[in-house]
Amino acid sequence: MTTDAGDLKFRDPETAQEIAADIEAQMERIGESIEIMHVCGSHEQVIAKFGLRSMLPDDLSVTMGPGCPVCVTNMPEVDEAVALAEAGKTVVTYGDMFKVPGSARSLADAKADGASVEVIYSASEAVELAEDNPEEDVVFFATGFETTAAPTAAVLQADPPENFYVLSAHKYVPPAMEVVAEMPDTDVDAFLAAGHAATITGYGLFEDFVEEYDLPVVVGGFEPLDVLYGVRRILAFIEAGEGGLDNAYPRCVSREGNTAAMGAIEDVFTRTSGEWRGIADIPDANFELNETYADHSARKQFDIEGVEGDADPLTEECICGDIMAGTASPEGCALFGEECTPQNPVGACMVSDEGTCKIWHEYGGKPDL
Ligand code: SF4
C-alpha cells in the first residue's frame, strides 16, 4: 500500500485504481466474504454516483445501514406534524420530509388540502418565519442526526420568539449501530462511519463501541477516494484480526469534534428511547427537548390529535426497514421502480435524496453502481 490519507486528491482515477488493487489483494488474503456497513446517505450517494461497487471484489459488500435521517423518522412522528398542520399551525420542515408518508398522509397531502406547510433550509430560517408571523404558531418539524440537531439546539438557546415551537424527530446514530450490530439477521464485519456527523461528535465517540463489539470502525469522508481509502483501512483491521478505530477524514474530523455544537445539543436535548421506522425501538437514540426548553416543545404545548385517513395498502409491502437494517436491498422490493418511484414514493427510502431506494433509482439500480 503506497497511498496514504494525506496524499489523496479525492477523485484521481489512478489513485482509485491503485487503492482498488490493494483492496482486491487484501480480500484475497482474507479469503472470505466481508460485509461493511456505512451509515450515511451521503456515502451511498458517492458510492452510486461514482460506481464504486463496480471496483470492489464480488465477495466484498458495502451496504447502507440506518443512515438516512428522513427514512428512520417514524410514521407517528410524521403523523404528529401532519396533525399539527391540520390543526392550523404553520409547520415548517426540511424539503426531504415534505413528501414522506405518515400512516395515512404526508405534509404534502396536508398542504394540498390547505394547511400551512413550508419548506425551510435551516433552523434559523424557521425562527425568522416565526418572527415575521407573530400571530401564527410556527412549528419546526426538526429531523436529522447530530449535524442538524446542533443548529436546532443553537436557535433554541438564542431565545427564539414565543410562537416558535420544535417538534423534534432528531436522532442519534451510535445506539442504532449497536442495535444493528446485535441483530441476528445482520452479519456486519465493520462500519464506515459518517464523516459529517463525526465533525460534530468527534471520532472518539466510537471508542466505547469498538471496545464492546471488537469491530473495525473507520470514519470516512465523501469523495470517492475517501470511501475507497476507508474501505482499505477497514480491511487492514480485518486482515490483522482485530477491531479498531481510525479516522480516514482527518481534514474535517478530530477526536473531540465540535465541542461547542455538542455542548448545545447536551444543553437542549435529552435522549429518549423510540422507534426508528421499520428498524427497532432503539434505546437513547431520539433527541427530545428537555424541561428547560419545554415552552418551545410542540409535544408539551399542544394536544396532538390523530390523523384521519386510510393508509396506502402498498405500504405493507415496503421493506425500507429491512434495507436500513442491512438485511435487504432495493432490488428485493417488488415495488422498486414500478409502483414506487421518486414521483410516487411508497416508502420513505424513495423520498429522500439520502434514501437507498431513491439513490439506486437515480443511478440505474445495482448493476450500474
Ligand atoms: Fe419501500 Fe419503495 Fe424502497 Fe420498496 S422501493 S422498499 S416500497 S421505499
Give the model confidence (pLDDT) of 142-172 as tens digits.
999 999 999 999 999 999 999 999 999 999 9
Give the residue, by CA position, lying nearest to ligand 1 atom 8. Answer: 347
Distance between Cα 351 and ligand 1 center (Å): 9
Whether 347 lines ligand 1, by a CB cut-off of 6 Å, is yes
245-249, 290-294, 351-355: range with lowest mean pLDDT: 351-355
Distance between Cα 72 and ligand 1 center (Å): 13
Nearest atom, ligand 1, residue 356 CA: 3
Which domains can be identified in the chain, with CATH numbers? 70-172+257-301 (3.40.50.11740), 313-361 (no CATH)
| pLDDT mean across residues, the chain | 92
Whether 319 lines ligand 1, by a CB cut-off of 6 Å, is yes
Q: How confident is the model at residue 225 (pLDDT cuts 50, 70, 90)?
A: very high
Q: How far apart are CA 218 and CA 43, in angstroms?
A: 13
**Where do the H-state alpha helices sit in 158-278?**
173-182, 195-201, 207-213, 224-239, 259-268
pLDDT, residue 279, reads 84
Question: In whole angstroms, how large is the CA radius of gyration of the chain?
Answer: 21
Partners of 117 in the beta sheet?
91
- Give Cα 269 distance to the centre of its chain: 18
pLDDT, residue 228, reads 97
**Which is nearest to 292 in space by CA: 170, 147, 156, 172?**
156
Positive or negative: CA dihedral 183, 269, 250, 44: positive
Distance between Cα 285 and ligand 1 center (Å): 24
Angle at 173 (CA atoms; ends 354, 91), nearest 5 degrees: 60
Distance between Cα 102 and ligand 1 center (Å): 14
Burial (0-12, 13-18, 19+ Cβ within 10 Å), 162? exposed
- Grid coordinates representing 39 are 451509515
Give the range with max mean pLDDT: 3-7, 220-224, 362-366. 220-224
**Which is nearest to 111 in space by CA: 96, 128, 89, 130?**
89
Nearest atom, ligand 1, residue 334 CA: 4
pTM across the whole model? 0.90
pLDDT, residue 366, reads 66
Q: How confident is the model at residue 305 (pLDDT cuts 50, 70, 90)?
A: confident
Check: CB of residue 326 under 8 Å from CB of residue 186: yes
Helices (H) and strands (E) in the chain, counts: 15, 11
Whether 101 lines ligand 1, by a CB cut-off of 6 Å, is no
Q: Is the pLDDT of residue 311 over 80?
A: no
Nearest atom, ligand 1, residue 351 CA: 8
72-76, 135-139, 165-169, 314-318: range with lowest mean pLDDT: 314-318
Q: Is the pLDDT of residue 365 over 80?
A: no
The 10 Å Cβ neighbour count of residue 334 is 10
For residues 82 and 4, the model is more confident at 82
Q: How far apart are CA 61 and CA 22, in angstroms?
A: 16
Nearest atom, ligand 1, residue 357 CA: 3
Whether 253 lines ligand 1, by a CB cut-off of 6 Å, is no
Q: How confident is the model at residue 8 (pLDDT cuts 50, 70, 90)?
A: low
Q: How confident is the model at residue 202 (pLDDT cuts 50, 70, 90)?
A: very high
